[in-house]
Structure formats: C-alpha cells, structure tokens
Structure 1
C-alpha cells in the first residue's frame, strides 16, 4: 500500500487558525451575551413604543368625548327650557279650551241672545288667565 503523507501546515498557520476560531467564538459569545443582557432594555423600549402609540390613539378620543359631554350638557339645558315651554303652552291650551267651551255653551243656550253672548265674552276677558 502506498501511503501518501498529508501535507502538514506550518505551525504558525495552525496557531493563527486556532486564534481566529477562539476570537470568532468569543465574539459570537459576546454578541449573545449582549443580546441577553439587553433583553430588558428591548422590552422596555417595546413597552414605551406601545404606550406612545396607545396615547396617540386615545388622546383624540378623549378630546371627542369631552366635546360630546359638553354638547350633552348643552342639550339637556335646552331640553329643560323646551319642556318648560311645552308645559306653559299646554296650560294655555287648557285655558283657551275652557274659554271656548263657555262661549260655545253661551251660543248654543236655548235662551241665547246677542246681549248674553257679549256678556259671557266680556266676563271671560275679565277673568284671570289661570282660572
């Protein structure tokens, strides 16, 4: 059998390759160590980014809610005034209905005369409006 000798690299080349391997491994380990040690910082940065994004979205909504609350207060105040006006108008309608009923009764009375009808109308004008 013929045996061929494997070429041997010079000793300094083996040392240089070993040194590159160690440095490369150390650099890789250093990178991994850096990532592991800064994981908390990455999480904090992510939380800050999420918080900032949430505030950016929530702030316009808060402003709109404040505007709508102001409009609701204004609408409630206006509704109170309108209810009061409706109550006053309903009262006035009742008073006018009673007046009209008295006049109708005076006109349809069997002994109705122009003088009696005028007296009923004049009496209605003298009565206070809340009778």
Structure 2
C-alpha cells in the first residue's frame, strides 16, 4: 500500500549566504588594514655622458661571501665609513656584482649606504 504523505524533500545547501559573509569579511579586512612601505630603496638610472667630479670612482666588489672596496676586503657594518673618505662629497661609487650574488645581499649593501654623501651606481 502506497503512502499518501510524500517523502520529505531534502533542501539543497545554498552558498549564497556563505558567499555574502565571506565578501563582507574580505571587505572589512581590506578597509581596516594598513598598507605600509616597510623599506624602500630608490634606484635611479645612470645618465649617459654625465660630468665627472674630477676624482676617480671608488669600486665596490660584491661577492656572495666577501665585500671589497678598491680590492681591499671590508665588512658591511663599516662600509659607509670606509667609502666616505675615498669618494668624498659628490663622488661616485660603482658597485660591481660577482656571479651568484643574491638580491638580498645587494639590498643589504644599498641599505647600508642609504643617506651617504656620494652617488651610488650598480653596474649591470
């Protein structure tokens, strides 16, 4: 004998409310978070045929495990103090990269030289 009461329908799971909640959370976190610049290095391209200061440039050779200023070994912590008497005000410091130098090592050197009184150029 067949039942006159129909079997209960299973209601489908709707994702509309879940998507709305996720969208609201995303919107909330985007509007309340701050986007700060943790560290910024200004890189300027070199000018072709620039006027020289009359004094020769200072060469910094950056290798994965060493740092040399005019072929003499030095440490990163005292790099600005080493370069200031050699380059003087407005002098030129050329940074040469050896094979295998990671970008973070170059960023560390450029951050150590931030605010120095001389010009810094990274050789390709």
TM-score band, normalised by the shorter chain?
under 0.3
What TM-score results when the alignment is normalised by the length of structure 1? 0.27
Q: Which has the higher strand share?
A: 2
Which of the pair is proportionally richer in helix? Answer: 1
